[in-house]
Amino acid sequence: MDLRDEHIRSADWLDAEQFPKITFKITDVKNLNEVKENMLAARVTGEFTCHGVTKEVYSDVTLTYLVENEMTKMKMPGDLLGVRAKFNIKLSDFGVQHMALGKKVADDIEIKVNIVGSNKM
């Protein structure tokens, strides 16, 4: 894993030294609706930046709100907000040349996001 991660960060791939951050900035939220108690779904538009290139992407997102209770306290204190999303990109759209020795690496990849935040951190 360490060797793989080092290779992915190298100048031959993501060039993490020159482009240390990959970001997603939400620019629009549409179709916000309640799926069930404490859970919302929406369609977001955002600016995804990777390898120094920014492209507009779209993602379906779910937001789950949990009031602090004995079960949630085992993970972290406070009320929790969970955010889940996934979207697809083409590495070539971001100037990433995928050079694998003897192996093919897909140009299309799926980005999955799973974030949990607390109001007491």
Return the CATH number at 59: 2.40.128.110
Taking 60 as the threshold, does the pLDDT of residue 32 lie above it?
yes
Rounded distance, CA 90 to CA 88, Å? Answer: 7
The one-letter amino acid code at 87 reads F
Residue 81 structural domain: 2-118
Specify which residues 112 forms β-bridges with: 86
Q: What is the pLDDT of residue 15?
A: 87
The one-letter amino acid code at 18 reads Q
Per the structure, how many domains does the chain have? 1
pTM of the model: 0.81
What are 43-96's pLDDT values in tens digits? 999 999 999 999 999 999 999 999 999 999 998 999 999 999 999 999 999 998
Taking 80 as the threshold, does the pLDDT of residue 7 lie above it?
no
